[in-house]
Amino acid sequence: MDHFEEDLVAALREIVKDGNWQCVGKKCDFDSPCTKLYSEDGEHIVLVHTEDDRFWAMDSSCPHEGGPLDLGDIEDLGDGKRVLVCPWHHFDFCLETGASSMGLQNQVYEVRVVQDMIYINTQNELCLSPIPETDTSNGKAIPSPSEDTLCFWATKILCTPDPKEKVAMTLEVQERWNSGEITEVGQATPPVQPSRKENLTVLQPGKIKRGKGGTQASRIALLHSLANIEQWAIDLSWDVIARFSSVRLDTGEPLPRQFFSDFVKVAGDEAKHYHLLETRITELDSFFGALPVHNGLWQSATDTSHDLLARLAIVHMVHEARCAPPDPLPLAAQGDCSSVEVLEVIYQDEITHVAAGLRWFTYICSQEERDCLSTFHDLVKQHFKGYLKPPFNTEGRKTAGMTEEWYVPLVKPPS
């Protein structure tokens, strides 16, 4: 009898092996609603544990734009139907079929619980921890001579999830470009979405509470929100370089080298801003990632990924121009002069960023014999949701060269 049981266990093990069933751990290890399981080939899986003590599995990247489904919410639609909702753009995916009401389809995997052990039917080798990448370069990528271009590094920075590494790499590439060590703009395909660290909690933009600075917790919330924006701003600068590097104007001419130099400077400024904010957050006994973040800025980048003029208008003229002088009173009342100084540096730099967007928008329009104002107004109406809302920082916009004729016609007319 014992021999029979041993043979049966061996046979069952072979069935599990041949059928691609993998044991990922004990049931008690998966109390969380969503757990990410890592695969060596990058095809990671999210294991979902619902309130009725059932388990489901699907690809962890949203097929829309790669959003982290392991950070999504589980919603009960009734009649036993449950969906996993992507935190980025709120696409829903049926846990049973992987189908979305938006017309997309995600890959699902069969899950079984046997003697309190979780099995997933997949060919991928899965584990609970990220699989380390083989490093043959002492932590630095060594491109071939043909790869040592501005766009190569722009894409690498976009694919770097750690913000500190993103900042360090940005400043290094800026120095190498300005010194002439990097000579070619080159071409590269940027990712659909920049990489982010796994530990960030991503919410809708409207659910993020940005403090006003009246208390230490409020100051941390304010600085944390700004640090998140600056991290996205670094990526937006590199993305406009890589994504539009091969653009030809209607005249047949490529973009001037100065275009790329200007946005390398913007990227460097944004990296400096993130470093200042992250340092200040640490000094206040917190850290970046301690609070939820949003990715609202990247939606504008996605919407304008096909059109350089639209990208300049929406991201580098509308969003950048919404900067306003920091209100020093709540921070000063707390004696936080250090934070006031950081915000003032950021404000002054953002004015120059608006000027860069405006300069290249008007340059392209003039080269292509377009009317600058009407083109800008048409693009904003097409790609920006709603009207521009006053009050405006008129002085800052004027300093950047953006007079009222650019934005006042886009304000909602009085009823």
- pLDDT tens profile 79-121: 778 999 998 888 899 999 999 998 889 999 999 998 888 999 9
The per-residue pLDDT for 279 is 95
The per-residue pLDDT for 29 is 83
pLDDT bucket at 10, cuts 50 / 70 / 90: low
The per-residue pLDDT for 18 is 54
Q: Where are the domains of the chain?
A: 2-127, 150-410
Of the listed ranges 44-53, 119-128, 300-309, the least confidently predicted one is 119-128
pLDDT bucket at 150, cuts 50 / 70 / 90: very high
The per-residue pLDDT for 39 is 83
The per-residue pLDDT for 143 is 52
Percent of the chain with pLDDT over 90: 48
Mean pLDDT, rounded, of the chain: 86
The per-residue pLDDT for 4 is 55
pLDDT in tens, 363-392: 999 999 999 999 999 999 998 888 888 777
**Is the per-residue pLDDT at 259 higher than 50?**
yes
**Is the per-residue pLDDT at 138 higher than 90?**
no
Top-level class of domain 2-127: mainly beta
Out of 18-22, 218-222, 320-324, give the one with best mean pLDDT: 218-222
The per-residue pLDDT for 135 is 44
The per-residue pLDDT for 197 is 87
The per-residue pLDDT for 181 is 93
The per-residue pLDDT for 2 is 53
The mean per-residue pLDDT over the stretch 256-280 comes to 96
**Is the per-residue pLDDT at 26 higher than 50?**
yes
The mean per-residue pLDDT over the stretch 268-292 comes to 94
SS3 letters for the chain? Answer: CHHHHHHHHHHHHHHHHHCCEEEEEEHHHCCCCEEEEEECCCCCEEEEECCCCCEEEEECECCCCCCEHHHCEEEEEECCEEEEECCCCCCEEECCCCECCCCCECCEECEEEECCEEEEECCCCEECCCCCCCCCCCCCCCCCCCCCCHHHHHHHHHCCCCHHHHHHHHHHHHHHHHHCCCCCCCCCCCCCCCCCCCCCCECCHHHCCCCCCCCHHHHHHHHHHHHHHHHHHHHHHHHHHHHCCCCECCCCCECCHHHHHHHHHHHHHHHHHHHHHHHHHHHCCCCCCCCCECCHHHHHHHHCCCCHHHHHHHHHHHHHHCCCCCCHHHHHHCCCHHHHHHHHHHHHHHHHHHHHHHHHHHHHHHHCCCCHHHHHHHHHHHHCCCCECCCCCHHHHHHCCCCHHHHHHHECCCC
Of the listed ranges 163-172, 176-185, 186-195, 371-380, the least confidently predicted one is 186-195
**Is the per-residue pLDDT at 229 higher than 80?**
yes
Better-scored residue on pLDDT, 269 or 222: 269
Of the listed ranges 132-146, 237-251, 310-324, the least confidently predicted one is 132-146
